[in-house]
Amino acid sequence: MSDLAHLDGILYPPIAPYETGELLVGEGNRVYWEQSGNPDGKPVVFLHGGPGGGTSPWQRRFFDPEAYRIILFDQRGCGRSTPHASSPDSDLRHNTTWHLVADVDQLRRTLGIDRWMVFGGSWGSTLALAYAEAYPATVSELVLRGIFTLRTHELEWFYEGGAASLFPDLWEEFIAPIPVLERAQLIEAYHRRLSDPDPAVHVPAALAWAKWEASTVTLLPDPALVAAMTGPEDATAFARIENHYFLNRGWLREGQLIADAGAIRHIPGVIVQGRYDACTPIMTAWDLHRAWPEAELVVVPDAGHSASEPGIAAALRAATDRFAKGSDTPPPFAEPALSA
């Protein structure tokens, strides 16, 4: 994705990293990382979505480069990390939520950081919650967007037919690669095709999987986003990793991240959620906020799921600006209205 000119009046100007590197995390995996902004600033780690989405340069722009030491990294198997999940050499057996949680903390220690702000959206919110609940002493603040916790009903909504009620035309394209008799369990049916070594089988399945998500994450259609997410190599890595995680329910017990939110209630936080998010509907953000009432819930009234939507981008920047000089006292819990 480009630097998104429509966000020029909302986010900080584009910047380049001052340092890049690779982290050896085991099992042959090398994780790309970068630092930008102020080397002496407040550390923040950006956790990208997917899983398998990778980072983009524009994601540095959520943070004031004079205030923040901005750390982006590509999770195992995607982006600039190797081996890439589109490669025949890729082995997803060592790519799980808990491998990634360990990678996040290994990166923190490698960079000599005691505590950092954790920023994550969509799958990045899942990973941020898992990490913060495992390592609460290392997290100074949490900024989360488009909350996703891999509960069964969340996965069934988006990948087993629930969202078809909103996008019947796009849903027909999504299920087209799957024979009628296999459509009762689409995540499993896609897994069989995405794990097939034949590109004639796995590439069309990957493109259909990626296009479904890219076409539904914004309130209004965004052809540039669809094009960015449906390049064959990146779509293959994205679909393979994402499907692998969803098939295994993220290696989480049902409802774990919300049930264990007590571990993070002392951490200042902001939850940003699009009112009309069809990918990760608002109920999950609401459930998290009920379990973590100290966090501020910001409901963007004219947005879907994507961080590139203006209202969501503005709310995320406001959150990072709020925490730029250090944690403040969160506002008292106020229940947002359930109507728009």
Residue 230 contacts residue 203 (beta carbons within 8 Å): no
Q: What is the DSSP letter of 331?
A: P
3-state secondary structure of 21: strand
How far are the Cα atoms of 34, 36, 80 from residue 19, in angstroms, in the given order?
6, 7, 15
Residue 88 contacts residue 233 (beta carbons within 8 Å): no
Partners of 29 in beta bridges: 26
Q: List the Cα angle 191/158/299 in 5-degree steps.
A: 140
Partners of 19 in beta bridges: 35
| Residue 154: closest CA among 182, 125, 133 | 125
- Residue 52 contacts by C-beta under 8 Å, 6 or more apart in sequence? 75, 77, 78, 85, 237, 238, 239, 240, 241, 242
Active site residues: 122, 277, 305
| Residue 15: closest CA among 61, 68, 47, 66 | 61
The encoded tokens of residue 220 equal 């209004």
Residue 108 contacts residue 138 (beta carbons within 8 Å): yes
| Exposed/middle/buried for residue 57 (C-beta within 10 Å: 0-12, 13-18, 19+) | middle
3-state secondary structure of 44: strand
Measured CA to CA, the distance from residue 278 to residue 315 in angstroms comes to 19
Partners of 117 in beta bridges: 44
Please count the CA atoms within 13 angstroms of the CA of 244 that sit on its side-chain side: 22
Q: What is the DSSP letter of 231?
A: -
The encoded tokens of residue 228 equal 């960015």
